[in-house]
Structure formats: C-alpha cells, structure tokens
Amino acid sequence: MKLSSGFRKVLIVVFACVLVMPTLQAQDKNNLFLGEQELFKASKNTSTVTVDGKMDEASWKETEVRALDFFYNIEQASDQQNTSFRMMWDDENLYVFFDCKDQYITARETKRDGAPYFDDCAEIFLIPAPDSLNMHFGFELNLYKTANDFIYLNNMNKGENAVIKGYNPDYKTAVSIQGTVNDNSDIDTGWCMEMAIPLSVFKGVGYAPIAEGVQWAFLAVRQNRDDAKGDRRSTSTIFSIYDIEKNVHQPNRFGLVEFVK
C-alpha cells in the first residue's frame, strides 16, 4: 500500500509522540512546574556581612522577610512558634537568616551528619537549576552549629531516595540565643541562625554565577523540639509540604527564590 506523503508525516508524528510520552509523564512526577511555585525574592547584599547571628547589617532590613507559616505535627498550642526567614546574595555567597521565637530552646546532637533535625534546627534546601529536580543540596544545623549537610537524590534507585552525607563543604554559620539551652524551668525568648554559604559549593550541577533575575528552587524549614528530655517535635516551612508523612525532601513542592537587585 502506498501512503501519501502527508499521511506518512502524520504517522511519524503519532509514532514519535507514543515513544516520548511515557518519558515525559515519568519526568513530570518529579519535576517542578515552572510558574506554579511560590516566589520569594532575595536582594543583593550591599553590606560587609559579619556572620554572628545578629541582624545588624543594613542589607538584612532591605531584603524580603517571610514567615514560616506552614505548621506540621503541632501537639500543643505553644509549639506553634513564629519564624522569620530572610535570604540575600552577592558575587561570593548566599546569606540566610532564621529569626525564631522559642519558649523552650533545646539541642543535643554534636556529631556532624548526625540528627540535628531532632533538635531546634534551621534547614535550607537549594537547587541551583529550578527545573532540574532530582537532587538538592541540604544544610541543617542545630544550635550547637552541628551540621547535617548533604546532597539528596530523589528516586535514586527503584523509587528509593539516597542521601550523600559525605558532602561536607565549608561555610560560615553563627547562632545567637536569647534564653537557656535544655532548661525548661524557664521561658526562653528565641534564637537566630545566620549562614554565609559560598557559591562555589554548588559547582558541578548547572551552577552559574548568580545574576539579577536568576531563579533557584529552595525550601526553608524549621524543626522545633520543645521537650528537654522527650521527643515532642514540630515542623514549620516557608512553602507547603505535599505529604509530611514522607519527609520534607519533596523538591516538586519547593518554591523559587529570585535573585534581585
């Protein structure tokens, strides 16, 4: 049977779609849908930042501030405590600041790549390429500045995730505490976590120098433990988590940061 050239073209297009569609569908489950995410704006730093856990630099007052208003696993009303989050950038670093109200300040973990996330803990997850989402960089620190830092790989093997904890980059962190650690006989005020993360630690995954208008995917998380001895813990995030029963490492639910002047 001889096919007309027009019909042959249609057949080729249909055949190509059938071949490509399963691949696209498989990718879509893991990928961000650009344009649907929440957008956060980070200003360019114009100060000399001293990483000391204090917000003295003028730049911190000029960049966007956002509350971590999505709360999970709240058992007591007093566990729902306010957090303000800020981020800035310049040619050398990303700067992150968590300002956390906390009536019961707690810390236990002292080993790197242990479980600071079971303590009062600030966490930032970053993806330098916002539409390429099977991995993210993670920086989680408790108030002893004990870090769990890692590269997280979603669906690494047969749907299982993998965490490369051997990733131990150098970056600056500082904590300031208004209250007493692990002493619930009094009421504390809160704590702050400041970070300066060199942009060089993101090299190798589509990283390019940040410029005005560039967008990355990210999530800011606060873990809160209000038991000095027990394990009553809650979580709050800057963007909503799809399924908190899994974990917070669901990059298809991250938001975007846009770097602005």
Contact residues for Ca ion (CB under 5 A)? 102, 104, 113, 120, 149, 165, 168, 224, 226
Report, in Å, the least distance between residue 204 CB and Ca ion: 16
Report, in Å, the least distance between residue 225 CB and Ca ion: 5
- In the bound state with Ca ion, the residue whose beta carbon lies nearer, of 145 and 165, is 165
- In the bound state with Ca ion, the residue whose beta carbon lies nearer, of 57 and 120, is 120
- In the bound state with Ca ion, the residue whose beta carbon lies nearer, of 90 and 120, is 120
Report, in Å, the least distance between residue 12 CB and Ca ion: 49
Report, in Å, the least distance between residue 255 CB and Ca ion: 24
The partner residues of 157 in beta bridges, in order of sequence, read: 160
- In the bound state with Ca ion, the residue whose beta carbon lies nearer, of 138 and 255, is 138
